[in-house]
Amino acid sequence: MTDRELDAAGITDPALRAAYRHCRALNARHGKTYFLATRLLPVERRPAVHALYGFARWADDIVDSLDPGAGPDVRVRALSRLQGELEEGLRRGGSGEPVVRALADTAHRYAIDHAHFRDFMTAMRSDLVVTAYPTYADLRAYMHGSAAVIGLEMLPVLGTVVPREEAAPYAAALGVAFQLSNFLRDVGEDLDRGRVYLPADLLAGHGVDRELLVRSRATGHPDRRITAALKEFEALTRGVYRTAVPGIDLLDPVARPCIRTAAVLYGGILDTVARDGYTVLHRRSAVQRRHRAVVAVDGLARVAAARLRARTGPGDRPPACARPLPAAASSPAMAVCSAEEVA
């Protein structure tokens, strides 16, 4: 499938193809939700998404997954090196570093504003020194660089049926919603890294502070005050989804199934956290594979419907095999249309 994606995108240079393959491997290994949703995009647009994700993954790994024995100075130097590679790569349109080479090529092909990448790097550097956020407004300021710009980077790749600036606020909001979902799921793991992304004033409204979070994490004992705070954060996140999701209809129709699938899967994190009793301080809530399969099948059907509409016109009704499948579907085998044709 990799060669088919690269051929369709018109990427012929061997070194550049290798760079995109490297990014795709990062996506497949680390970003299961992103990777699944990306498979629903037109084949020629997938390499660009892999490049954007691969760069974000690389920077995030420096912040979170570097040898825990390495001090902050080591991480700062690693991010500074990445920043230098990024600036040079964007200026030259290429780089000796594969991830940056693919990113620079994608930025050039889709005319992506370089400021988005710089804002992202600013947020990554902030993670090395900022360990808490007093208010939601403070958290949103951080998430402009860590999440909103990801949605803005994606817009030129996805395409829109309206002027891009009209779709931009929705794309940014969806990026924020995805990250808020991850913050809720990862409360315990982030606390182990010394960070609390839940706003301090939201926590304080329920009598919760960092000390209580640490104690609950250490003892494994739940606390109703923490549960109440997590429920409020969940409600806040669902509100961001309600703001963002209408923007999906502003995208190129062939890109909508990808983003709708991502929204359903990330939104499913909230459902899973609630189903697990808001025990995220003690164990990680994971969306079940069966649910992923159901959503993927529905996404495939939506892709088929979008492609058929593009061929037959908006007034024609697609055949049953190209219509979204019911939620009861439990296996990709229930997709009547050929997966090879759609994917």
Across the range 333-343, mean pLDDT stands at 34
Across the range 192-197, mean pLDDT stands at 94
pLDDT at residue 114 greater than cutoff 70: yes
Q: Tell me the Cα Rg of the chain.
A: 21
pLDDT for 340 equals 34
Across the range 189-214, mean pLDDT stands at 97
SS3 state of residue 160: strand
Q: In the chain, pLDDT over 90 holds for what percent of residues?
A: 68
**Which domains are assigned to the chain?**
1-129 (1.10.600.10), 130-310 (1.10.600.10)
**pLDDT grade for 287, boundaries at 50, 70 and 90:** low
* pLDDT tens string 302-332: 555 555 666 655 544 443 333 333 333 333 3
Percent helix, strand and coil across the chain, each to the nearest 5:
70, 0, 25
* pLDDT tens string 103-112: 999 999 999 9
* pLDDT tens string 6-43: 999 999 999 999 999 999 998 888 766 778 788 889 99
Please state, in angstroms and as integers, the Cα–Cα distance from residue 342 to each residue in 195, 255, 267, 301, 338, following that order. 42, 13, 24, 8, 6
Across the range 38-54, mean pLDDT stands at 93
DSSP code for 251: B
List the Cα angle 60/288/182 in 5-degree steps: 30
